Structure 1
Amino acid sequence: MAGEEQLVEVGGHTLRLRNLDKVLYPSTGTTKGELLHYLTGVADLLLPHLKDRPATRKRWPDGVEGSITFFEKNVPRGAPKWLRDVTLPAPGSTKDREMVTYPLIDDLAGLVWAANLAALELHVPQWRVGPRGAAKDPDLLVIDLDPGAPAGLPECAEVALAVREKLEDDGLHPWPVTSGGKGMQLYAAVSGRQDATSVGNYVHRLAEQLERELPRLVVSRMAKNLRKDRVLLDWSQNHAAKTTICPFSPRGRERPTVAAPRTWDELDEPGSLRQLEFGEVLERCGDLGDPLAGLLPSGSRTGAGPRVPTT
């Protein structure tokens, strides 16, 4: 029943879960319990993308149709003592904070804790923190493909294929993620030995080049009046202070969609592309695993990819 509490043990930690029958997605009747079922099912694939990345959560305490929603960076009061955290400078904070203490959600107990607070979305930067809590240089670049109506996923797929060709010419190997919203992201591993400004400048140049080559399809500038029926190739997500929705994270949309890693074969049939929901992603995981696994650093490697060109 709504309002009931349950004590559960997850990874050796006891958590108090509340309102598991609470509907978070009214259009589908999807409950907090079903959110937890999804996260438990994808945890082995989701957690490596969260590991050592400060997590910004977007919360919907009353569900996606409720009037309250907010981004939360700081670890909230009452967080369990076992939750890892890291304190980092917060330049440009809208709340005039000099430092922010972020949670590091790198185990199933942390995922369950966040979901219990109706944190439907998990956003992370393209860099990790080291063992002493210092921010490293980015080990990923990201390109956010944001379609302006009436453009949609088919146009994003066309742009993604053009971006892929450019990146591969520079020795980078991107993978697509349908965002769970309107568009998609492309990720590529980089060396982890160049700063965010270098990576962002490289993506900015690439966006401007594609805007010149495909002017009816691509725009690199943020002005909304330029984006009708074109795809914004958003390079700005590579700024060190920016975050992007984590692969496999749920989304706080009308339906329980997911930022779902895809294969390039799927983009060859753009007319059939659509945003995927919890059950579909769980089913795919059993067949595909994580298409983005090659992006993840392993062992002592700083990053899994090459340096980006600087000119």
Structure 2
Amino acid sequence: MPSKVNVDVEGRTLGLSNLEKVLYPETGTTKGEIIQYYTHIAPILLPHLRDRPVTRKRWPNGVEEASFFEKNAPRGTPDWVRTAELPSPGSTMDRETVVYVMTDELATIVWLANLAVLELHVPQWKVGDDGKGQNPDRLVVDLDPGEPANVIECCQVALLLGELFDDAGLPSYPKTSGSKGMQMYVALDGGATSNEVSAYARGLAQRLEREHPKLVISRMERAARPGKVFIDWSQNAGAKTTVAPYSVRARPRPTVSTPVTWDEVEQGARSTARKRLPLQFDIDDVLARVEEDGDLLEPLLDEAYALPELDEE
């Protein structure tokens, strides 16, 4: 295989390099295969990225070597790549603004994958026509298990959270993180600020912690997490990001953050398998699932609900 090839991607000419480089040594998965996955999943993925600034995580030498987060558009970014300059309060690089990549076309995804971008992380808000960040259009909770808890306990907590959302008239949608845990989403109408959404999610987490103290924790301290599922409500903060649906993860295998059905969550909650855990999907699994079922998160793109008052029961 040549070390570099030029390809046409919807009218954009891209130079792809080192396609044979193995990024996942355990499975032998190459950069070319990751590019191929992102190319095939793009029609489903792009709507979940559109108008959201993307924070990327890159593994130039594969998942067993060093990685780095990247917010600013890198040197050499093609002039056709859409960017957005946004405030960066509290930047660790002491910057007042960051020029983010906006991933709204297939060529941008292919270009990023060629840079060994494996993971795509996005906030819960979009950039408006005025070039500024808007109020969040979705709520997210991240379910992070503390060992020996795992995705099985995450499924149990997801069911409890799903009931609370249902009681509030808010349809919710689960997905795996592609790593250890899960996330759940609710579509919002943009009428609440990030702080208000965070406060609502925190209230739900605290309620479940009171009702299920052996299973749930809402507090940040890691020392208290073993054997419990941390409901990370802080992912709704304006400066926070969550791994995007259908993003690859840098695990030993090329697993994917995968939307799942509530039936699958219920089955996962009842699972007794501790060696081969449920709800683990790789790039081939996800392409087959999308071929069969389409985008399980598609309703999230069309729905919009007002953030209700928190029920303190």
What is the TM-score with the length of structure 2 in the denominator? 0.95
> Is 1:282 matched with 2:254?
no
Residue matched to 1:27: 26
Distance 1:240 1:154 in 2: 29
The 5 A counterparts of 1:160-179 are 160-179=158-177
Aligned to 2:200: 202
Q: What amino acid is the match of 1:262?
A: V
Matched, 1:223 2:221: yes
Separation (CA, whole Å) in 2 of partners of 1:259 and 1:115: 16
Deviation of 1:36 (Å): 1.1
Alignment check: 8 A CA contact 1:294 1:304 kept: no
Please state how far the C-alpha of 1:100 moved relative to its aligned partner: 0.3
Deviation at 1:132, TM superposition (A): 2.4
> Alpha-carbon deviation of 1:168?
1.2
Q: Is the 8 A contact 1:59 1:121 kept in 2?
A: yes
SS of 2:53's equivalent in the other structure is coil
SS at match of 1:144: strand
> Within 2, Cα distance between the matches of 1:249 and 1:119?
10
Aligned ranges 1:73-222 → 2 under 5 Å: 73-222=71-220
SS in 1 for 2:166: helix
Gaps of 5+ in 1: 298-302
Structure 2: gaps (5+ residues):
272-276
Query: Contact 2:203/2:310 (CA < 8 Å) preserved in 1?
Result: no
TM-score normalised over the length of structure 1: 0.96
| Equivalent AA in structure 2 for residue 230 of structure 1 | K
**How many angstroms does 1:310 deviate by?**
5.4
Q: For 1:37 and 1:43, how far apart are their aligned partners in 2?
A: 10
The percentage of aligned residue pairs carrying the same residue is 53
Q: CA deviation at 1:305?
A: 2.3
Letter in 2 for 1:106: D
Q: What's the counterpart of residue 274 of structure 2? A: none
1:187–1:34 CA distance, 2 compared to 1 (3 A): same
Say whether the 8 Å CA contact 2:6–2:13 is kept in structure 1: yes
Q: Which structure 1 residue ranges, 4+ long, deviate > 6 Å from structure 2? A: none
1:202-241 per-position Cα deviation (integer Å, ceiling 9, x unaligned): 0001000000000000000111121111100110000000
Task: Give SS of 2:84's match.
Answer: strand
Aligned residue for 2:251, secondary structure, equals coil
Whether the aligned pair in 1 keeps the contact of 2:72 and 2:98 (CA below 8 Å) is yes
Aligned partners of 1:27 and 1:254 also within 8 Å: yes
With 262-271 and 120-129 compared, the bigger mean Cα shift is at: 262-271
Aligned to 2:305: 305
Contact 1:75 1:103 in 2 (8 A): yes
- Partner secondary structure for residue 32 of structure 2: helix
